[in-house]
Chain A
Amino acid sequence: MVTFTLNGKERTFDGDPDTPLLWVIRDLEKLTGTKYGCGVAQCGACTVHLDGMPRRSCITPIAMIDGSDVVTIEGISGKEAEAVQTAWAGLDVPQCGYCQSGQIMSAVALLQMLPKPTDDEIDGAMTGNLCRCATYHRIRAAIHNAANSMEG
C-alpha cells in the first residue's frame, strides 16, 4: 500500500508497485491535466512536482513516492503559479495546449528556485519540455514577464 499526498489530499494506492505515477494521476484519480506524451522521459508533458521539485511522472513508479507530496497542474498554487498563469494568459502562450501543463509545472518550479532567471537559465530548465507547436519563444517571454511581475 502506497500513501501519498496529491494536491493536498491524502491518497492511497494498492496495486502493482511499478505502476507509473502518471497512470495513477490520470486513470485512477481522474486528474487529466497532466498529459501523456511519450511515456519515456523524453517530452516533459507529464511533469508534476514531487516534494517541490519537477519530476516526470511517466517514469516514476508509484512505489517510489510513498510518503511524498505530489502536486499537479490542478493543485499548483502560490505567487509563482499566479504570476505564471497571468503571464501565460497575457501572451496567449498555448497553441494546441497539449504540452502546456508540463511547461507550466517546469516554469513554476524554475521561478521558485530562481526568481529572476536569465535566458540561459530558462533554456536550461525548460529544455526537457517539448512543444510540437513551437511556442518556445512565447514560453520564454512569459517566464520573463512572470518574473518581472513578482519583483518588489
Chain B
Amino acid sequence: MKITLLITGIVANCLIVGAGILLAPASVAQNAGSLRPAESFQSIPDTRARSVALFEEAGKVIQHPRCVNCHPATERPLQGMSMHPHQPPVFRGDAGMGLVGMQCNTCHSEQNTPVVGQADTLKSIPGNPAWHLAPIEMAWEGKTLGQICEQLKDPKRNGEKTMAEMVEHMAHDELVGWGWQPGEGREPVPGTQDEFGKLIQAWVDTGAACPSP
C-alpha cells in the first residue's frame, strides 16, 4: 500500500519521470510454455477425469495474465505479468471500450504498435481491431479454474453461447488469438490457438467436466 501511495505521489508531482516509473519491466517475448496435445489425454481411461485434465491444460491459457487482465472483476483492467491496475487509470465504459473521452482507442489501435525512441522497458502498445474488456459477467480475475469452468458453461455468464459456439470462440476469435501474438515485450500465452481450440473441443466432447471449484 505504501508503495502504491508513493508511486501515486510521484505521478502527481512528476509528469515525465513518474510516467517512466509506472511502466513494469518488460517481460521478454518468448513462449513461456507449451500445451500438451489434446490426443495425449487419451491415456486417461476415465472420461470425466480426462475431461477435467483437458480443461486444466487449457487453464494454462485461460488463467494467464494475458487473458485475465482483460477479464477483470472490477471496472478497471489489469496490466502486465504482475497484473497491476492499468495505468493510466481507465475504466470499463460502454461495451467495455472505455469511458467517454478516454476510450481504449485513445492509445490502443488495431494492431500492436512499436514504441520507438524510448527505454527498453516498453517495446510496444498492444492492439487489435476488437480491443475491449470482457463483460463483467465474464470476469475471471480472482476466480479458481473450477469457477471459471462453470462460468464458461453458463449461458448467462458466457454471452449466451452454446458449447459449440464456445469452442469456435476459443479456437478462432481474433481477440482471443491476440494472446498468442501480444506484441514485442510481452509474454504470449502457452502453445498455439489451434492447440488450445483442440483442448477445448476435446473437453466439450468428453462432457465438459470441471475441476472442483
Contact = CB atoms under 8 A, between A and B. Distances in A.
A64 B114 CA distance: 12
A55 B106 contact: yes
A98 B15 contact: yes
Interface residues of B, number: 34
User: Which applies to chain A's interface (DSSP): helix, strand, loop or mixed?
Assistant: loop
Nearest to A126: B101
Contact of A59 (B13, B14, B89, B125): B125
A98 B14 CA distance: 12
Contacts of A53: 103, 105-106
Contact of B12 (A61, A125, A132): A132
Contact of B15 (A20, A99, A106, A113): A99
Interface residues of A, number: 39
A121 B19 contact: no
A33 interface: no
A128 B66 CA distance: 23
Across the A-B interface, give the 3 residue pairs with the lowest CB-CB distance, nearest first.
A125-B101, A38-B19, A42-B19
Interface of B: 11-16, 18-20, 22-23, 87-91, 93, 99-103, 105-107, 109, 113-118, 122, 125
16 contacts: A19-B116, A23-B117, A38-B15, A42-B19, A42-B23, A43-B15, A53-B106, A54-B102, A59-B113, A61-B114, A110-B101, A125-B99, A127-B90, A130-B12, A132-B14, A132-B15
